[in-house]
Every structure is written in C-alpha cells, then in structure tokens.
Amino acid sequence: MRRALHLPHPPRYAVAAGLLALAHTALGAPATTASGMPTAVLGIPTTGPDSAETRGFDAVIARHMQQQHLVGGAVAVMLQGRLVYAKGYGYADQEARTPVTPTSLFRIASVSKPITAVAILHLLESAPPGLTLATPVYAYLGISPFLGPGRTLDPRVHQITLNHLLHHTGGMDRATFGDLMFMYRQCAKDVGVPVPPTHAQFISWAMGQPLQHDPGTVHAYSNYGYCLLGRVIEKATGLTYENYVRQHILSPAGVTAMRIGQGHRTDRCPSEVVYYSATGAKAPSWDDTFPEPVEDQAYAFNAPRFMDAHGGWIASPIDLVRFAARFDQLLTPPSYTTLIANSGVPVTQPENPVWYGAGWQVRRLGAKGAVNLWHSGSMPGTTSLLVRLARGYTWAIVFNRDNAGDLDGLMYRAVATVKAWPATDLEPRDKADGTLKP
C-alpha cells in the first residue's frame, strides 16, 4: 500500500544571537533589517524574512545576479523537512519595478519532468487496466501515424514503452534529428492545420517520424517523450494532465499555487513574473491567432498545449522544495526504487556514478546506496534548478531569464556561507502535532 503523507514537525536548529522573529506572512513582504528598514544587497532589492545568519547567502546570490545581468530570481531551502530560507531578489517586472517575492511564480521549464515522472509512477500504483511500465505507448494511446507522401512507418515505434519514455531511452535523439517538440509549425504545415495543432494531431505526425536508435538502447534526452507521458495520464484517468497532477501529487504535498503557465505576456497568471530572454531577440509567435507576428523569444516558444508535461509548469521555489522533499511519501518503496533506477545505459564517474532515473538525475553516494537527486530547466526567459540531497537539504532556485550561469555551483557556494540556519519554520504548522496547515 502507498504510504500516507505525514509531515512531522522536525527538531529546531541552533538559534544565533539576534535572530529576528519571522512570520510566515512575511514571505511576500520586503526583507527588513532589525530596525525595520528595507534591505538591498549590492543594490538588488530583496523580499522575504531577513536574518543575520543568511546575509552571506544573500550576498552570493546578489553578486551572481550582477555578474550574469539577471533581472529577478527566488530561492527556497528546506533542511530535514523544515523550510529554513525563502527569498526573492530583483524584479518580477523590471519596467514596473515590481519586486520578486519568495512566492512569485516562475516558469520552471524541464523541472516539470520530475513532477510528470512521479505522477506516472503514482498512477501505475492504482493498476489502471492495460497500463504498466512495459506497455507500448502508441498502442495504449490508440493513435495512428500521419505519414506524408513517400513516407513509411518506422516499425520500432511500436516497441516504445512507458519505461523507455521515463528514462529517455525511447529512440528519439534531438542531437541528430532535432527536438520534435519545437517542430509544431512543420507539423501544422504537413498535416494542413492551424498553428498550434492539437496534441492528437501533433502526436500522430511525430509518430510518423523516424527513430534514431532502437528503443531501450541509448539515453537521449527527449521532451517529446514526456509529452507522451502526459497524454498517458489523461487517457488513464479521464482528467487533464494538469488536474490529475494538482489533485493527486501537488495538493497532498502541500502545494496549491502551481499550475500550467500561459503563453503570452498578457496572459500571465496572478503573481507570475515577466520573462526576459538573454538576447531580447524577436521570433514568430507559437500562436498564429496572436495579433503580433513576432514576440520576444521569452514568449515566442511557450505553446502551453505542448509544454505541459515536459516543461509547462509555473511555480515558486517554495512550491518546488515542498514537492521534492515529500514526493517519495506519495509512492510505495518499489515505485521509488523505479524512480531512481538506472535505465541500463552507461554511467559517468564510476566512483560516484551518475545516471538519469525516471525524471531525475541521480548520483549514488558510496556503497550504502544513498542518492542525490536533481533536475535543471532552461528555455528563453527561464532558468531553474531543483536539488534534493541525501544529507537532508532540498533547494530550488529560479530566474526570469535564460543563460543564468552555473546554478548548481552557485547554490553550493551560498549554502556554505550559512553556519546555523534560522530556527523559525517559515511554513505554518499545527501546534498540536506539527503537521502543515492548509
């Protein structure tokens, strides 16, 4: 049976002298010093609780933002299940001078994949009819291929299973063929439909494209594979991908604000930041009905219909660490073992081997089998990173610009500056049993 999600109140950590009393409601407020004055670090405004213990952390983040010319970002850190740090930096809207808060929503790009992987494994535990890790995906979806003039079907597509898609071993290789998920204009042209095509039209067209490898033999990162997993969830449950994930994965983990983002700047969700591409270049919109023929690249490629299961979620860093710290409590031990399992392809760094599990990068630590998990994401206007370490840390960092630099190294440097984390839990909990309040 699946384990019930119980979120205990962990022990408090050492309190340094002069620690501010931090209220949960302060997460969206400007950071202040003990005298009540708003804070700025190296000229970059900050929001969220401020404490002397974490000012070195703030300085590392602010210096990185200056060096990389970033507009806005946000960070959250959990330690042993307790939210010990949450901060916003810079601007959610540079033109309006609206500051980022720790609860601002950002596109997370490919950090969506761990969410989809957990959702698939959670779904399989309910044993939906005809669906296992070994199920051929196209047969399950009941989609027939669209074949252009002179084209024949690659018979290997019938061998692609859920397990292949979870581990990026489905035979598609964007390094040699290109990323199918960004060929929707070609699809629409070939099929003779408006841009954007429907999922069914797009998958039918993509099914007719050749594979580059035999399924199960080569790890090749595939956005399209995770698009297919989203459709499997919809077929099995009768719910939209978004609704299934929100009801069955996010809400039990204490996450309520996450949702699938929209495509245009004018359609942003409440509390969502503005995105800025690194180049500022224009590109044709993903939506032919859009009144302008071109948009900033940060908005030109985010067709929400296609991005959902592989890169379409928007979230705050607090949402992300809640999910990452608790998702295994939603899975049975066998499902968690599947999630961290190597797909069978060669690993790197044999002394501490690294591989791609089901939706997560995995590093095994020593002989005892402890693992670190992480996933990064990037698209025009977005850079994101989610990390869960065996030693009890979970952290997330997001920026509203692409090409944001080495976020992994940045976070390790920032965390190393903190000698003792503030003792106050930044999440509201029930005083009687320590569980999270709604």
Going along the chain from its start, the domains and CATH numbers come out as: 1-104+412-438 (no CATH), 106-403 (3.40.710.10)
pLDDT of residue 284: 85
Does 55 score more than 70 pLDDT? yes
Name, in order, each residue with C-beta under 8 angstroms of 153's C-beta and a sequence gap of 6 or more.
Answer: 145, 147, 207, 208
Q: Dihedrals φ, ψ of 237, to 5°? A: -110, -20
Identity of the residue numbered 81: G
d(CA 61, CA 319): 20
pLDDT of residue 224: 97
pLDDT of residue 428: 66
- Mean pLDDT, the chain, rounded, equals 88
Name, in order, each residue with C-beta under 8 angstroms of 78's C-beta and a sequence gap of 6 or more.
Answer: 84, 321, 322, 325, 393, 394, 395
Does 24 score more than 80 pLDDT? no
Tokens linked to 53: 């213990």
Q: What is the pTM of this model?
A: 0.90
pLDDT tens for 342-395 read 877 766 777 778 999 999 999 998 767 799 999 999 999 999 999 999 999 999
Name, in order, each residue with C-beta under 8 angstroms of 180's C-beta and a sequence gap of 6 or more.
Answer: 172, 174, 206, 209, 222, 223, 224
Does 2 score more than 70 pLDDT? no
Would you tell me how many other CB atoms lie within 10 Å of the CB of residue 155? Answer: 8
pLDDT of residue 434: 52
Sign of CA dihedral 185, 190, 195, 196: negative
Decide: 39 and 99 in contact? Cβ < 8 Å: no
Q: Cα 385–386–389 angle (5° rounding)?
A: 130
Does 322 score more than 50 pLDDT? yes
**Residue 235 — pLDDT band, cuts 50, 70, 90?**
very high
Does 36 score more than 50 pLDDT? no
Decide: 433 and 117 in contact? Cβ < 8 Å: no
pLDDT of residue 425: 83
d(CA 143, CA 433): 50
The DSSP code sequence of 341-355 is: ---SSPPB-TTS-EE
Classified as helix, coil or strand, 236 is helix
pLDDT of residue 11: 27
pLDDT tens for 407-421 read 999 999 999 999 999
Max Cα–Cα distance, the chain, nearest Å? 75
Decide: 350 and 364 in contact? Cβ < 8 Å: no
pLDDT of residue 195: 87
pLDDT of residue 263: 86
- Least confidently predicted of 133-137, 149-153, 332-336, 381-385: 149-153
Does 25 score more than 70 pLDDT? no
Q: Cα 392–395–396 angle (5° rounding)?
A: 160
**Residue 80 — pLDDT band, cuts 50, 70, 90?**
very high
Cα R_g (the chain), whole angstroms: 22
pLDDT tens for 266-297 read 889 999 999 999 998 988 888 888 878 788 88
Decide: 277 and 401 in contact? Cβ < 8 Å: yes
Give the CA distances from residue 154 to residues 21, 27, 147, 211, 288, in Å, rounded to whole numbers and listed in that order.
Answer: 63, 53, 10, 7, 31
Tokens linked to 104: 């601002």
Decide: 302 and 184 in contact? Cβ < 8 Å: no
Identity of the residue numbered 348: T
